[in-house]
Structure 1
Amino acid sequence: MSRGEASAAIRVVTWNIHGGVGADRRCDLDRVATVIASLAPDILALQEVDGRAWAGRRPGAFERLAALLGGHVAEARLTGRGEGAYGHLLWSRWPLGEVAVRRLPGGRIEPRAVIDAVAETPLGRLRVLATHFGLAPGDRKRQSAFLAALPAERELPTVALGDFNDWRRNGSVARFLGAALPNVASLPTWPARRPFVPMDRIYASAGIPLAPVSIDLTLEARARRSSDHLPLAAMLALR
Structure 2
Amino acid sequence: MRIVSYNIRKSVGLDWKRKPERILAVLEEMQPDIVVGQEVDKRLGSRQGTLPLGMLTSDLKYRFADVATRVKSHGWHGNAILFRPDVVVTEVERIELPSLEPRGAVSVFFETASGQKFHVVGVHLALHRIMRVKQALAILKYLKRCPRIPTIIAGDFNEWRKLGAASRIFAPTLDVITPGPSFHTSLPTAPLDRFVVTSDVQVTNTGVHRSELSNRASDHLPIFMDFDLPKAE
**Same-fold call, TM cutoff 0.5:** yes
**2:108/2:119 contact within 8 Å kept:** yes
Question: Using the alignment, how far apart are the partners of 2:31 and 2:44 within structure 1?
Answer: 29
| 2:160 corresponding residue in structure 1 | 167
User: Is the alpha carbon distance of 1:196 and 1:205 closer, same or farther for their aligned partners in structure 2, counting shifts above 3 Å?
Assistant: same
Moved more, 134-143 or 204-213: 204-213
**2:208/2:221 contact within 8 Å kept:** no
1:8-157 aligned at under 5 Å gives the runs: 10-51=1-42, 60-61=48-49, 64-70=51-57, 71-74=62-65, 76-77=67-68, 82-83=71-72, 87-93=78-84, 94-106=87-99, 108=100, 110-122=101-113, 124-153=116-145, 154-157=147-150
| 1:212 corresponding residue in structure 2 | 206
The amino acid that maps onto 1:178 is A
Question: Using the alignment, how far apart are the partners of 1:194 and 1:75 within structure 2?
Answer: 35
User: Is the alpha carbon distance of 1:180 and 1:19 closer, same or farther for their aligned partners in structure 2, counting shifts above 3 Å?
Assistant: same
User: Is the alpha carbon distance of 1:131 and 1:66 closer, same or farther for their aligned partners in structure 2, counting shifts above 3 Å?
Assistant: farther
User: Is the alpha carbon distance of 1:182 and 1:84 closer, same or farther for their aligned partners in structure 2, counting shifts above 3 Å?
Assistant: closer
User: Is the alpha carbon distance of 1:52 and 1:144 closer, same or farther for their aligned partners in structure 2, counting shifts above 3 Å?
Assistant: closer
The number of residues matched between the two structures is: 219
1:177 CA drift (Å):
1.8
Question: Using the alignment, how far apart are the partners of 2:226 and 2:109 within structure 1?
Answer: 18
**Structure with the higher fraction of residues in helix conformation:** 1
Question: Using the alignment, how far apart are the partners of 1:75 and 1:232 within structure 2?
Answer: 23
User: Is the alpha carbon distance of 1:140 and 1:155 closer, same or farther for their aligned partners in structure 2, counting shifts above 3 Å?
Assistant: same
The amino acid that maps onto 1:167 is W
Query: How well do the aligned residues superpose, as a CA RMSD in angstroms?
Result: 2.4
Question: Using the alignment, how far apart are the partners of 1:207 and 1:52 within structure 2?
Answer: 36
State the percentage of identical aligned residues: 27
**1:118/1:125 contact within 8 Å kept:** yes
Question: Using the alignment, how far apart are the partners of 1:60 and 1:175 within structure 2?
Answer: 34
1:159 CA drift (Å):
0.4
What per-residue deviation string (whole Å, max 9, x for no partner) do you get for residues 123-145 of structure 1? Answer: 51111101111111121010011
Question: Using the alignment, how far apart are the partners of 2:108 and 2:137 within structure 1?
Answer: 19
1:214 CA drift (Å):
4.8
| 2:221 corresponding residue in structure 1 | 230
**1:19/1:48 contact within 8 Å kept:** yes
SS in structure 2 opposite 1:212?
A: strand
The amino acid that maps onto 1:22 is G
Question: Using the alignment, how far apart are the partners of 1:20 and 1:29 within structure 2?
Answer: 5
**1:144/1:172 contact within 8 Å kept:** no
Question: Using the alignment, how far apart are the partners of 1:16 and 1:88 within structure 2?
Answer: 9
| 2:195 corresponding residue in structure 1 | 202
1:98 CA drift (Å):
1.0
User: Is the alpha carbon distance of 1:167 and 1:84 closer, same or farther for their aligned partners in structure 2, counting shifts above 3 Å?
Assistant: same
Q: Which runs of 5+ in 2 are unaligned?
A: none
The amino acid that maps onto 1:39 is M
1:170 CA drift (Å):
4.3
Moved more, 163-172 or 130-139: 163-172
The amino acid that maps onto 1:236 is F
What per-residue deviation string (whole Å, max 9, x for no partner) do you get for residues 201-234 of structure 1? Answer: 011111322231353x5x2x21121100000011
1:82 CA drift (Å):
4.6
Question: Using the alignment, how far apart are the partners of 2:67 and 2:181 within structure 1?
Answer: 26
Question: Using the alignment, how far apart are the partners of 1:45 and 1:18 within structure 2?
Answer: 13
